[in-house]
C-alpha cells in the first residue's frame, strides 16, 4: 500500500497487461490490444446451444460472436446482424456509464453487465481499476446494500438460512460450479459501518469477489458468495415489505454455532480442504471467536481483522520513509477497539517484535479508545482481546484528552464515527510532530473520522493521510496539491487469495499478512502449501492461473485427414 505516502497508488489490471499510453478505457489500435490474445484462440467446446448461450453470462459475448459461432451455436437471428470487437463494446458501455448522474446508477449498470456478459464486465473493471473500485466496492457498495431490495435484479451467490440447518450439503450441490476455490461469507450483522443489514449484506461478498478477479486474477467461476441468513435485529428492515430475508430477530447461541460448524464442514467436503473461506462483516462478538475457532482447522481468514490489519500496517511501514525513523519510535492511538483495531494492533505488535521490541513493550505503544473511553487495566467488562492492550493509567473519557496526554505519532480511526478526528485533535497532532500519521480508515466515506481536506488544511499539509474510502485530491491556499492515500484492504485480500489458491495453502497464519508480497515463497518455506512439485518460476506459475477477460472462441474444432485416408470404399 503506497497510500500512506499521500500520493495514492494505481492498481495495474494484472502483471504484464498494462495498456501503454492509451486512454484508460479507449479502444486499442490496432484491434489486437491489451486484452487480446495473440493469434486465434483455441476453441472451447460447448454443450449449451441457442437461447441458453445468450442468457449465460459466462458464455455470452453479445455482438462479438462471429457469424460462424452464431450459425454453429444456433443463435443466428437472436443477435443483431452486427459484429463488434470487445474494444467497441467497452466504448459503448463507457459512454452509457458516463451519462449516469449517481454512483448507485453506475453500480446498477455494472452489476447488470456482470449478469449479462461476465468477460466484458471484467474487461471494464480492469481497464481502470482505480476508477471502478469505488463503485463495485466501498463506498458505493454500502449504499447498494442499503437499497438492495430496490437494486436486486438477479440472485448472485448462495442464500443459506438458519432453517436449512442439516441440509447444507444439499444446498451446496445446487450451485452450478463444482471447482470452487474461494468462498466469501457474511451473516450481514455488521456491514461496513452501517450495522445490521441482514440479507441485504449479500452485496459485500459479491463486491469482494469481483475484486478477487479484477485485482487478483482469480477465475470468477471459481468464486462463491454466500449469505448466512439467521434473521436481523434491524427493525426498519423487519417492517420493510421489500426486504428479501428472514423476518425475525437474529438467532444466536448453539443453533447459530451449529449452522457455522455445518457450513464450514460442508464447504470443505464439497470443494476440498484447500478451498479458501473469507469471513466478512461479522459482528465483533462472533468475528474473533470464529477466527480463533476455525483458523487452524480450515483454510480461512477474517478480512476485517487480518486484511485490514495488513493494509494498515503496510501503510504505516510506508509512512516510515517520510518520518525517517523506525517503527519502534512510534506511539499509536486507536479510535475504536473492534475487529479492525484489534487486527491492526496485533499485527503492529508482530512487526515491532521483528524489530526486536519485547511484546510487553510493544503493547505499551498502543493506546485504544472505545465507546467508554481509554481502555485501562481494572476497567470492568473488558474482553480478552481488549485486556491485552489495557494501559496502566487512570481512566480518560474522550479521544481528545487521550491524544493530548499520550502525544501519539499516529492516530488510527476504525470505529465508524464520522468526524471523530476533530480540528482540535488534528491541530494537536500537528503541534506534537512534524509529520503526524492520520489514518481515517472507516467505511463508507460518510463514516470517515475526518476528510482529506480537513486533515491537510489543519495540519498545513504535513499530515500523512490515508482513508478507507477514496477522497478527491486537495489543493491548499498555497497552491500545493495532495492526492490522498487509500488504505483499503482491497489492496491485500485479492493477492492473498490468489497466493493461497496458487499454493493450495491449508491454513493462513497472521505472519502471511506481513508477507503478502512474498506469499508463495513463505508458504513453501513453512510447509503450508500443498501444490507439488514446487514451481521453480513462481511468478510464471501465478501468471498461468490468472483469469483473462478475453473472449473464448466457440467455433467447432474442425480439421481434415489426408485425402488418401478419406477415400470412400466401394463394392
pLDDT of residue 517: 35
The residues assigned a catalytic role are 137, 208
Strands (E) across 376-445 are located at: 410-413, 437-440
> Beta strands 223-229 and 158-161: pairing type?
parallel
pLDDT of residue 528: 66
Distance, CA of 374 to CA of 367 (rounded, Å): 7
- Strand order of the β-sheet with 300-302 is 158-161, 223-229, 182-186, 276-279, 300-302
* Residue scoring higher pLDDT (469 or 260): 260
- pLDDT band for position 361 (cuts 50, 70, 90): very high
**Looking at the predicted structure, is the pLDDT value of residue 301 above 50?**
yes
Judge contact between 182 and 222, C-beta under 8 A.
yes
Q: What is the mean pLDDT of the chain?
A: 87
Mean pLDDT on 318-340: 93
CATH H superfamily, domain 137-298: Malic enzyme, N-terminal domain (3.40.50.10380)
Distance, CA of 192 to CA of 416 (rounded, Å): 8
Distance, CA of 363 to CA of 115 (rounded, Å): 48
Judge contact between 203 and 197, C-beta under 8 A.
no
- Identify the CATH number of the domain defined by range 307-487: 3.40.50.720
Distance, CA of 294 to CA of 43 (rounded, Å): 42
**Looking at the predicted structure, is the pLDDT value of residue 11 above 90?**
no
pLDDT of residue 25: 33
Ligand-binding annotation for 280, yes or no, is: yes
Ligand-binding annotation for 304, yes or no, is: yes
Distance, CA of 366 to CA of 301 (rounded, Å): 24
Distance, CA of 554 to CA of 72 (rounded, Å): 9
pLDDT of residue 8: 35
Q: Of the given ranges (1-10, 64-73, 398-407), which has the lowest mean pLDDT?
A: 1-10
pLDDT of residue 12: 34
pLDDT of residue 514: 65
pLDDT of residue 513: 74
Ligand-binding annotation for 489, yes or no, is: no
**pLDDT digit string (tens) for 152-195?**
888 889 999 999 999 999 999 999 999 999 999 999 999 988 99
Find the DSSP H helices in 372-419. Answer: 384-388, 399-406
Distance, CA of 349 to CA of 169 (rounded, Å): 40
- pLDDT band for position 498 (cuts 50, 70, 90): confident
pLDDT of residue 44: 80
Ligand-binding annotation for 10, yes or no, is: no
23-29+43-136+536-571 folds as Hemocyanin, N-terminal domain (1.20.1370)
* Residue scoring higher pLDDT (494 or 247): 247
HEC readout, 464-522: EEEECCCCCCEECCCCCEECCEECCHHHCHHHHHHHHHHHCCCCCCCHHHHCHHHHHHH
pLDDT of residue 372: 92
Burial call 117-141: b when 16+ CB within 10 Å, e when fewer: bbbbbbbbbbbbbeebbbbbbbbbb
pLDDT of residue 30: 32
Mean pLDDT on 477-484: 93
Backbone torsions φ then ψ of 332, nearest 5 degrees: -120, 135
**pLDDT digit string (tens) for 28-47?**
333 333 333 444 456 787 88
| Domain segments of the chain as ranges | 23-29+43-136+536-571, 137-298, 307-487
Same fold flag, 23-29+43-136+536-571 and 137-298: no
**Looking at the predicted structure, is the pLDDT value of residue 538 above 80?**
no
**Looking at the predicted structure, is the pLDDT value of residue 453 above 50?**
yes
Residues 6+ apart with CB under 8 A from 122: 213, 214, 220, 547, 549
User: Residue 486, exposed/middle/buried by CB under 10 A (0-12, 13-18, 19+)?
Assistant: buried
Q: Of the given ranges (28-32, 133-137, 142-146), which has the lowest mean pLDDT?
A: 28-32
Residue 279: closest CA among 297, 257, 264, 269 = 264
Mean pLDDT on 348-353: 94
**Looking at the predicted structure, is the pLDDT value of residue 500 above 80?**
yes
- pLDDT band for position 19 (cuts 50, 70, 90): very low
pLDDT of residue 38: 41
Torsion sign over Cα 210, 212, 217, 221: negative
pTM over 0.85: no
Which run of H or of E encompasses 152? none
**Whole-number percent of the chain with pLDDT over 90:** 67
Angle of helix 399-406 relative to helix 423-432, nearest 10 degrees, comes to 10
Distance, CA of 423 to CA of 458 (rounded, Å): 7
Amino acid at each position: 500500500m503506497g497510500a500512506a505516502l499521500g500520493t495514492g497508488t494505481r492498481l495495474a489490471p494484472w502483471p504484464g497487461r498494462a495498456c501503454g499510453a492509451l486512454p484508460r478505457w479507449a479502444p486499442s489500435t490496432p484491434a489486437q490490444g491489451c486484452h487480446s490474445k495473440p493469434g486465434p484462440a483455441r476453441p472451447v467446446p460447448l454443450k449449451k446451444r441457442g437461447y441458453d448461450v445468450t442468457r449465460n453470462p459466462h458464455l455470452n459475448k453479445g455482438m462479438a460472436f462471429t457469424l460462424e459461432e452464431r450459425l454453429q451455436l444456433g443463435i443466428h437471428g437472436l443477435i443483431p446482424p452486427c459484429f463488434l470487437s470487445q474494444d467497441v463494446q467497452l466504448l459503448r458501455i463507457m459512454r452509457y456509464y458516463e451519462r449516469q448522474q449517481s454512483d448507485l446508477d453506475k453500480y446498477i449498470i455494472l452489476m447488470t453487465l456482470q449478469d449479462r456478459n461476465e468477460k466484458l464486465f471484467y474487461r471494464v473493471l480492469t481497464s481502470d481499476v482505480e476508477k471502478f473500485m469505488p463503485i463495485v466496492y466501498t463506498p458505493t457498495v454500502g449504499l447498494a446494500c442499503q437499497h438492495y431490495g430496490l437494486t436486486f435484479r438477479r440472485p448472485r451467490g448462495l442464500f443459506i438460512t438458519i432453517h436449512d440447518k442439516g441440509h447444507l450439503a444439499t444446498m451446496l450441490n445446487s450451485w452450478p460450479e463444482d471447482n470452487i476455490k474461494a468462498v466469501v461469507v457474511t451473516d450481514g450483522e455488521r456491514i461496513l459501518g452501517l450495522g445490521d443489514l441482514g440479507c441485504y449484506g449479500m452485496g459485500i461478498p459479491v463486491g469482494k469477489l469481483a475484486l478477487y478477479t479484477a485485482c487478483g486474477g482469480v477465475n470468477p467461476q471459481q468464486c462463491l458468495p454466500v449469505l448466512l441468513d439467521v434473521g436481523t435485529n434491524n427493525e426498519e428492515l423487519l417492517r420493510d415489505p421489500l426486504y428479501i430475508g428472514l423476518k425475525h430477530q437474529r438467532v444466536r447461541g448453539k443453533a447459530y454455532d451449529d449452522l457455522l460448524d455445518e457450513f464450514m464442514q460442508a464447504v470443505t467436503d464439497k470443494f476440498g480442504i484447500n478451498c479458501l473461506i473469507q469471513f466478512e462483516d461479522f459482528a465483533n462478538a462472533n468475528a474473533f471467536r470464529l477466527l480463533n475457532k476455525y483458523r487452524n482447522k480450515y483454510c480461512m481468514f477474517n478480512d476485517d481483522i487480518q486484511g485490514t490489519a495488513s493494509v494498515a500496517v503496510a501503510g504505516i511501514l510506508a509512512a516510515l520513509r517520510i518520518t525517517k525513523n523506525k517503527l519502534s519510535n512510534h506511539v499509536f492511538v486507536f479510535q475504536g477497539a473492534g475487529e479492525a483495531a484489534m487486527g491492526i494492533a496485533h499485527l503492529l505488535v508482530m512487526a515491532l517484535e521483528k524489530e526486536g521490541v519485547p511484546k510487553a513493550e510493544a503493547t505499551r505503544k498502543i493506546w485504544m479508545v472505545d465507546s467508554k473511553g481509554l481502555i485501562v487495566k481494572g476497567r470492568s467488562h473488558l474482553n480478552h482481546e481488549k485486556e491485552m492492550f489495557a494501559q496502566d493509567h487512570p481512566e480518560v473519557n474522550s479521544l481528545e484528552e487521550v491524544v493530548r496526554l499520550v502525544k501519539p505519532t499516529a492516530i488510527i480511526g476504525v470505529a465508524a464515527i464520522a468526524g471523530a478526528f476533530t480540528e482540535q485533535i488534528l491541530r494537536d497532532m500537528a503541534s506534537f510532530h512534524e509529520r503526524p500519521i492520520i489514518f481515517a480508515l472507516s467505511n463508507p466515506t460518510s463514516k470517515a473520522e475526518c476528510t482529506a481536506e480537513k486533515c491537510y488544511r489543519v495540519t498545513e499539509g504535513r499530515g500523512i493521510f490515508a482513508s478507507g474510502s477514496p477522497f478527491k485530491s486537495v489543493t491548499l491556499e498555497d497552491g500545493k496539491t495532495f492526492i490522498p492515500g487509500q488504505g483499503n484492504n482491497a489492496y491485500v485480500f485479492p493477492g492473498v487469495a490468489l497466493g493461497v489458491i496458487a499454493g493450495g495453502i491449508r491454513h493462513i497464519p497472521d505472519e502471511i499478512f506481513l508477507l503478502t508480497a512474498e506469499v508463495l515463497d513463505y508458504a513453501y518455506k513453512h510447509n503450508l502449501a500443498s501444490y507439488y512439485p514446487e514451481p521453480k518460476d513462481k511468478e510464471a506459475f501465478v501468471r498461468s492461473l490468472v483469469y483473462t477477460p478475453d473472449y473464448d472462441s466457440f467455433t467447432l474444432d474442425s480439421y481434415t485427414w489426408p485425402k488418401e485416408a478419406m477415400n470412400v470404399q466401394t463394392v
